[in-house]
Each structure stands twice: as structure tokens, then as C-alpha cells.
A and B are shown apart, each in its own frame.
Chain A
Amino acid sequence: MSKSLITSLSLAAVLVAASSLPACEKASAGATFAPASVERGRYLTVALGCADCHTPWHVGPNGPEPDASRGLSGHPAELVMPPAPELPEGPWLVSAAATNTAWAGPWGVSFTSNLTPDVETGIGSWSEDTFLASLRTGKHLGMGRPILPPMPWPGIGRLTDDDLRAIFAYLKSQPAVSNRVPEPLPPRG
């Protein structure tokens, strides 16, 4: 659903804004994991399409594509979204930003999280247990607010502990990107 939505939306304004944002990559916190686990995590992260939403899209040489300089860093903090469009009564339910990182629906507006190991704005301070608890329970940090659509945690949360640990190892091995994703917004009215 995500990619077809992207192509159905007006890309220009938001993509221009996103592509002009500065990349804030910095060194990882230095965590080390077994190479086999990291590789398994890379395979799962790619196969599950995590970057489809957690990496912002921009206009590249070949058209819209994930912005590799912001890999897995979530919705760009500098990209302040205008109010989501009000949809008419009917079967349309969801609106998505051209970056694929902001989603509006009956639950409000959700912004994809920064999954890089930045300590202040990403998962750098998370433990493996926190990561597993989040995906098993569907709660932010494993015990807070609900994790919102379209994050498909019920399916991902059924992976084995080893697979989830491998994804965590891969994510923690990526370059840290300082990007403070905004908190979700409640539904209108």
C-alpha cells in the first residue's frame, strides 16, 4: 500500500523540502555485535521493508527513492508537516507524506521513528530487551503509548527472539543520525 500511495500523492513540495534538509550523520555509539547476527539482521530489515517507511524518500537521479544519507532515521525533524488533508466520506482512509515518513488516519498523525543508534534521538539508549518488548507488545518502549499504524508490529513481533535480536544488532551497527522525530498527533476534534 505504501508505495502506491506515494505515487498517487503530489510529491513536489514535500520532496523539495525533504531533499534540502541537512544530513546529520555521526559516528555510531560503538556497540559491537557478532557479524553473523548483523548480517542476519540486515537480511531481515531489507526483506521486511523497514526502510520503506523509516528512511525518508526524496527525489534522486532516478526519481523518488530512499535518501541513503538519512538511512533509517525516521521522519525528518525539519520537515514540519502541514495539517493532513481532510478526506471525504468514503473508503479512502489514510494519507501519507511523500517522504513516506508521516501518516495521517483515524488514529491521528504518526511519524516513523529514528531507528539509528543515536543516543538522544534514536535507539542508542535502548537495550535489546526494550527493542523486543516494543515489538512484542506494540507499546512504545515496551510499556508506553500504543505504537501506531501503519507500523506492522503484530507481524514483526512474531519473529523469533533470535531474529529480533539480529535486527536490533543490525540497527545498532548502522551510522547514528541525529534526528528528533516529533511525537504523534491525536485525531482531529
Chain B
Amino acid sequence: MKACRPSLRGLALAALALASCAPDAAPPAPAPDELPAHLADTGLYADATLRDVAPDVWPYDPQYPLWTDGATKRRWIHVPAGSAIDATDPEAWVFPAGTRLWKEFALGRRLETRYMEKRADGSWLRASYVWSDDGGDAVLAPAGGVAHLAEVAPGVPYDVPGRADCATCHSRGDGVLGFDALQLSAERDPLAPHANAGVPAGQDLAAFVARGLVRGLPADLLARPPRIPARTPRERAALGYLDTHCGSCHRDDGPLAGLGLTLGAELRDRDGDHPPRALVTTVGRPSRFRPPGAPSCEARIEPGAPELSTLVERMATRDPLRQMPPLGTHLVDVDALHLIETWIREDLEPTP
């Protein structure tokens, strides 16, 4: 961890910290015994070497992974024996009490492993564990996170988020992201940015159903693995990217419902009989985001013109007051930005 430099940005962050990190403003801390002090005690690993995962812990690999400044990730899930994920609603899986998930972030070496566990009352316990330099241990991170744990590029910090930040994104459905019918589908999107090619053995939807971890899934989703209906392959990848990076907050319910902006993918209309909400609520729709000096009526997506599209503008900046997503990155996702810009320019018909 590096000390803050006395720069303007440092001052700005200090001012923000004064406003936003007063001790009394912190979320209620979990009871001390709820969060193990060491990752080794969360049940992830088979033994103290912290290399092999326990036999009742399963790796998974979402087809539209979240960009975190290029950090590489590994993910695992544990569902208690005798219980299962209720997948009756393909867009709103319900996880049983005792479900645990881990996500490991690495940049050359393991940096942190984020952890969430569903309590008996249905709420989630969330925390992160920071790895020692030698990889021999990972200890519980402070509730407020860790600033500048490492660097993703020269001078660009890698930050561990605070626990209160977890809920910002993990607010869709039951609060689990990246483990659902679309993300685990065997029908992988070859154009998805930063995705691994193909589904690793034993990690697709059918495998989790066969294992008994997922129950109630509509049979149609097994017979015909889910994919995003789209007019072009590029649009499919663009909508998948927006689903992962924007759709957990920008949805028809929740605190942002009033914006009328929905960027999540939909599985209920499997044949694409209706235009996706991610298009209906963006293409040609005026943006409420209006920085001083900007045109008075810029569209969320201006078909044929990414340079006039607010969605692109906010993807292309990491100014913390304007960037989207608002958390988790200090670098622009250049590959995804190229995908979205090309999709808007080449695939969306300009307004006459």
C-alpha cells in the first residue's frame, strides 16, 4: 500500500473522504465472529497450502466477465449439501442459505479474494481478503477497503472496495452476479470482451443442474441453451457487455427505476419477438446527463454516431464524477469501448 501523494487529486480524495468516510457513516459492521479473519477459514480451500479448492466448491466462468482494469479472475461457488439454487425464474435465481461465493483477483500475483455468504435470514455477508506478497495467507480487509493495494499500470492504483460498495452492484435479484442461466450457458458468445474461449469442462449450466446445485430450471433452457437475441453478432456481444457492466443497477426496479433506463439482458423473450429493453430505453432516447457546455439533447445512444452518445461518453472517461460504471475501475475498457462504438456506428441505423 502506498501513501497518498500531496497532489490535487489527493486533496480531492481527501475532501471526499472527509465528506463520505466519517466513522459514524460506515455501515453496521457484521458481528466479529461472522467473518473469519483468514480466507483459509471460509471453506474455499482443501488444505493450508491455499492452492486446491475443497471438493464441495465448484469453479465457474461467466461468458460476459466484468472488467476490473485487466485483473484476471477465478470464481467458485459452494451450495450446502441437501439444498439447491431455485432457478424456476430464469432471470431471478434464489440461492439457499449457506451459499458461498468467492472471486479471486490477480495481477501477476493474487491480490484479493472477495467473499460472500448468504445468512439464514436471507441477507448476504460480504468481505474481501487481501493476499500477502508471498501468497501464503489472505487476511480480512478493513471494512472501508484498501486504497492503492497495487498498481494496474504505472501510477494507476488497484483498490480493494469497501464492504458498503459491494451492495451497490450486488443489488440485482438475489444479489449474486455472474452465476445465472445466461452467464453459464454453453452457447458462448465468441465476441464477448475478455472472455475465455469456450466453457471449461463441468462449468456450464447443464453440469450444475446435473450436480443438483441448480433445480427448477425450465427445461427449454437446457434443451436450447440461452443466448441473447440480437440482430447481429456484434449486437449480441454489446448487449451482453452492457448486461454485466450496467444491468445490475440500470433495471426496471430498484433505486434507478425512475430513470427509465434498462440495460440488463432478457431471457423471457428468447426468440427476440420484442425489441430488447436495452435498445428501447437507449436508442434515440434523451439523456438526463448534461455536463455544462454539452448539447442540450444528447441521446443515450445516437444510432450511427457514437460520438454523440452519452453511453459512450461515460464509458470513455474515468473521471470519477462521470465514469460508468462508477466503481471498480481506473482504466477505460478499450476493447469494450471499441465494441460498443462499432456497434452503434455500424449496426444501428442513423435517425433520418
Residues of A bordering B, CB below 8 Å: 80, 93, 105-108, 120, 124-127, 129-130, 133-134, 137-139, 141-154, 157-158, 180, 182-189
Contact = CB atoms under 8 A, between A and B. Distances in A.
Nearest to A124: B258
Contacts of B25: 138, 153-154, 157-158
B89 to A, nearest CB: 22
Contacts of A146: 16, 19-20, 320-321
Contacts, number: 107
B21 to A, nearest CB: 8
Among B18, B255, B288, B289, residue most surrounded by chain A Cβ atoms (within 10 Å): B255
Given A139-B168, A141-B255, A143-B168, 4 more contacts: A143-B249, A158-B24, A185-B292, A185-B321
B319 interface: yes
Contact of B255 (A105, A129, A145): A129
Interface in B1-17: 8-9, 11-12, 14-16
B319 A186 contact: yes
16 contacts: A106-B11, A106-B12, A108-B12, A126-B258, A129-B255, A130-B258, A138-B19, A139-B168, A143-B168, A143-B249, A145-B320, A182-B291, A185-B321, A186-B321, A186-B322, A187-B12
B19 A154 contact: yes
B20 A106 contact: no
A175 B113 CA distance: 49
B227 to A, nearest CB: 28
A146 B24 CA distance: 17
A130 B255 contact: yes
Given A145-B321, A185-B292, A127 B19 contact: no
B16 A148 contact: yes
A6 B258 CA distance: 35
A36 B319 CA distance: 43
A127 B168 contact: no
B22 interface: yes
A2 B16 CA distance: 18
A24 to B, nearest CB: 15
B257 A187 contact: no
A93 B11 CA distance: 10
A129 B20 CA distance: 20
A105 B259 contact: no
Given A149-B15, A154-B20, A183-B290, A143 B256 contact: yes
B221 interface: no
B164 interface: yes
A148 B288 CA distance: 19
Among B12, B18, B19, B171, residue most surrounded by chain A Cβ atoms (within 10 Å): B19
A185 B171 CA distance: 28
A151 to B, nearest CB: 7
Contact of A107 (B16, B24, B169, B291): B16
B326 interface: yes
A182 B292 contact: yes
B164 A180 contact: no
B8 A189 contact: yes
Nearest to B257: A127
A158 B259 CA distance: 26
Contact of B19 (A141, A153, A185): A153
Among A125, A143, A184, residue most surrounded by chain B Cβ atoms (within 10 Å): A143
Nearest to B10: A106
B255 A143 contact: yes
A23 B323 CA distance: 32
A110 to B, nearest CB: 9
Contacts of A124: 258
Contacts of B259: 125, 141
B321 A108 contact: yes
B12 A144 contact: no
B255 A133 contact: yes
B18 to A, nearest CB: 7
Given A125-B258, A143-B168, A149 B19 contact: yes
B242 to A, nearest CB: 16
